[in-house]
Amino acid sequence: MRLAGRAAIITGAGGGIGGAVARAFAAEGADLCLADLKAAPQLATELAAHGRRVIDVPTDVTQQAAVKALARATIDAFGKVDILVNVAGTVSFGAAESLAADEWDRVLAVNLKGTFLACQAVIEVMRRQKYGRIVNIGSILAKNGGNARPWLDRGEQTNAANVAYGASKAGVHALTLFLARELAADGITVNAVAPGPIESAMTRNFPERLRSLIPAGRKGSADEVAQACVFLATESSGYITAEILDVNGGMWGD
């Protein structure tokens, strides 16, 4: 029960990775605020049945007022916010030359702006507590320029996440590093988990031919990402900040 007595906000809780993070945190004793565009009553009921205090707060992370209300709801329910895990995200596919400007804006609004707004909303309470753990979800695609190999087959890019997604996640990595320096003196750590291909709705069209690029020979699981988030959220990780933790089966190493 490494998170017993801690209060955590999980954005994107209605998705595969977000749900896995919520379950992993609940198993470690955390009280939870679940946040997604739509309510997640089944997940909330499931976690509450295991003795956790749970609130379900539908939130559009691209809207500052909504994100501030999310933080206030958590404080009202639990008296504090110890942990924030930013999982909320969206993906985009296709070639750069056909990428619409509106699609670029949509992806960066959710993945980058949404992550920033959620971080910003909890800074004051975490500073007041002199304690906090922020874990952002980045991506291998923020580092490797994409999994697709269009110089071999342009068609690979069709079903692979594109430059808008990679740029948004690179922004999340930069945000993580800046906030880690800015908040360290207040007892707040800021880290990111950068998954490779993970079995989820976002990767259902992952080109099978790209599986051979994964040294581990398989896509990862949401639970494996969740366990990395748990580690970075615990008290024992207090000397780790500004880290981008790769969870990618060996596809990329720093």
Contact 81/122 with Cβ under 8 angstroms? yes
Residue 142 lies in a domain: yes
Residue 2 lies in a domain: no
Residue 252 lies in a domain: no
CB atoms within 10 A of CB 199: 17
Output the average pLDDT for the chain.
95
> 208 falls in which pLDDT band (50, 70, 90)?
confident
Instruction: Cite the active site residues.
Output: 165
**Does the pLDDT at position 205 exceed 70?**
no
Residue-number span of the structural domain to which 88 is assigned: 7-247
Contact 133/83 with Cβ under 8 angstroms? yes
Burial 160-170 (b: 16+ CB within 10 A, else e): bbbbbbbbbbb
Per the structure, the count of domains in the chain is: 1
Residue 254 lies in a domain: no
Calculate what percentage of the chain has a pLDDT beyond 70.
97
pLDDT tens digits for 66-117?
Answer: 999 999 999 999 999 999 999 999 999 999 999 999 999 999 999 999 999 9
Contact 231/26 with Cβ under 8 angstroms? no
> 254 falls in which pLDDT band (50, 70, 90)?
confident
Residues forming beta bridges with residue 244, ordered by sequence position: 192
Nearest residue to 241 (alpha-carbon basis) of 194, 176, 195, 186: 176
CATH number at residue 126: 3.40.50.720
Residue 158 lies in a domain: yes
Answer whether 0.85 is exceeded by the pTM.
yes
How far, in Å, CA of 159 to CA of 66, rounded? 32
What is the residue type of 229? C
CB atoms within 10 A of CB 155: 12
How far, in Å, CA of 57 to CA of 72, rounded? 11
Residue 213: its pLDDT value, please?
A: 86
What is the residue type of 96? A
Residue 88 lies in a domain: yes
Q: Which helix (H) or strand (E) holds 45?
A: helix 41-48
> In this structure, what token pair is assigned to residue 1?
């029960």
Nearest residue to 83 (alpha-carbon basis) of 217, 200, 206, 226: 226
> 158 falls in which pLDDT band (50, 70, 90)?
confident
Contact 191/176 with Cβ under 8 angstroms? yes
**Long-range contacts made by residues 145-152, C-beta under 8 angstroms, separation at least 24?**
147/197, 147/206, 147/210, 147/213, 147/251, 148/207, 148/210, 149/210, 150/95
The total number of residues shown for the chain amounts to: 254
pLDDT tens digits for 209-231?
Answer: 778 889 999 999 999 999 999 99
Average the pLDDT over 171-177 and give the result: 98
Residue 36 lies in a domain: yes
Burial 85-103 (b: 16+ CB within 10 A, else e): bbbbbbbbbbeeeebeeeb
Residue 1 lies in a domain: no
